[in-house]
Amino acid sequence: MRCAAAAMIALLTSAWPVAAQDSHLLVIVGLSGSPENGDLFHRWALGLVEAAEGRYGLQKENVVYLSEDPARDPARIDGRATREGIRGAVERLATRARPGDRVFVVLIGHGASAQGEARFNLPGLDLSAREYAGLLDRLGAQTVVFANTASASGGFVAALAGRDRVVIAATRNEGERNQTRFGEFFVEAITGSDGDIDKDGRVSMAEAFTWAQRRVAESYKRDGQLQTEHALLDDNGDGAGTDATGQPGGDGALARTLYLSASVDGRPGPNAAVDPALRALYDEQRALEQRVAALKSSRAKMDAAEYERELEQLLIALARKSREIREKEKR
């Protein structure tokens, strides 16, 4: 019990930044290649946008959606996903975002490799991984999550890796050129509740990556096909990437602390369009977590048996509250 309790305390009482911070989302949908893909990619992108502004409480001004065809949904799409459009969006982000803010960039579409360099396919001239890296240099004061869910995206990992960055690619190299499934499941992980692997009521970038990985593998196995995509994540800046986060000293530590949310801890922010009853449950969950933290700080002054007993009661109550939240979210 003591080992398990200690592990849960570490999870529940991790130190979060206390300064006011905002999250920003830039969704880029590139060339679709077919009307069917166009509809599919738009549905994924719109799911992210609506979850960001609704469930996760991001300010509308902090969410930008660029698409191959803005006429598909003029009310929700902010501009065309061209080289110039993307550069302009990043420049505006760099101007609006404050030091310490979190910026999420998600690419949905197709990729390729030209002249030995990974690219993301756009209307007109593509942007290469190296060019995206140059754009992200404008966000050096922010923590950045860059997820390229397209084919042939593996080359983005080494090109974009750096301090305070989580780089996710749907493939391990540019040679995996078939249309990917990773994007669908990555979006599902963030916008749904199944991606909450540790069942704490929130979905980190590490959880979204891992859950999407698993769903991709399951889908290929179910279809009796050879898996042609293998996602990677890098967040320690070495550019190597991994397909297994959570290894000691490896990638995943930063990604486990980042959530597409207006609040730092991944719970709905004050602007989130959340059922008042659900918001009350979140408040109760936070209160329980604060009691766990207070108990931890008093451990040295308490009898060991009493400490273990109170901790167990709090952890059980917290687990029940998290389950109640999950059940409420599914309704």
The dihedral through the CA atoms of 245, 248, 254, 260 has a sign that is positive
Whether the Cβ atoms of residue 233 and residue 209 lie closer than 8 Å to each other: yes
DSSP code string of 174-203: TT--SPPSHHHHHHHHHHSSTT-TT-SS--
**HSE-up of 156 (CA within 13 Å, CB side)?**
34
Give 242's DSSP letter.
B
Phi then psi dihedrals of residue 321, to 5 deg: -65, -40
DSSP code string of 244-308: STT-TTSTTTTGGG--SSSSTTSS--TT----HHHHHHHHHHHHHHHHHHHHHHTGGGS-HHHHH
Query: What is residue 331's predicted lDDT score, i.e. its pLDDT?
Result: 66
The residues near 276 (Cβ < 8 Å, ≥ 6 apart) are: none
**In the chain, alpha helices (H):** 2-12, 35-53, 83-96, 129-136, 155-160, 182-191, 205-223, 276-297, 304-329
pTM: 0.79
Query: What is residue 16's predicted lDDT score, i.e. its pLDDT?
Result: 35
Query: How far, in Å, are 26, 67, 150, 247 from residue 122 at the CA level?
Result: 15, 9, 12, 36
Nearest in space to 55 (alpha carbons), one of 287, 230, 259: 259
Query: What is residue 20's predicted lDDT score, i.e. its pLDDT?
Result: 53
Dig out the tokens for 235 from the structure: 């967040």
Dig out the tokens for 210 from the structure: 């891992």
Query: What is residue 284's predicted lDDT score, i.e. its pLDDT?
Result: 82
CA 213 to chain centre: 13
Distance CA 10, CA 192 (A): 25
Whether the Cβ atoms of residue 164 and residue 129 lie closer than 8 Å to each other: no
Bridging pattern class, strands 117-120 and 127-128: antiparallel
What amino acid occupies position 170?
Answer: A
Query: What is residue 273's predicted lDDT score, i.e. its pLDDT?
Result: 53
Query: What is residue 281's predicted lDDT score, i.e. its pLDDT?
Result: 80
Query: How far, in Å, are 10, 229, 322 from residue 319 at the CA level?
Result: 15, 35, 5
Q: Count of CB atoms within 10 A of residue 302's CB?
A: 14
Query: What is residue 289's predicted lDDT score, i.e. its pLDDT?
Result: 72
Whether the Cβ atoms of residue 305 and residue 178 lie closer than 8 Å to each other: no
Nearest in space to 200 (alpha carbons), one of 20, 23, 44, 10: 10
Whether the Cβ atoms of residue 178 and residue 216 lie closer than 8 Å to each other: no
Bridging pattern class, strands 102-108 and 23-29: parallel
Query: What is residue 13's predicted lDDT score, i.e. its pLDDT?
Result: 40
What is the pLDDT tens value at each position of the chain, 331 positions in all? Answer: 444 444 444 444 443 333 457 999 999 999 999 999 999 999 999 999 999 999 899 999 999 999 999 999 999 999 999 999 999 999 999 999 999 999 999 999 999 998 789 999 999 999 999 999 999 999 999 999 999 999 999 999 999 999 999 999 999 999 999 999 999 999 999 999 899 998 888 899 999 999 999 999 999 999 999 999 999 999 999 999 999 997 877 899 999 999 999 877 776 655 455 567 876 787 787 678 768 777 877 888 889 889 899 988 988 988 888 788 777 766 6
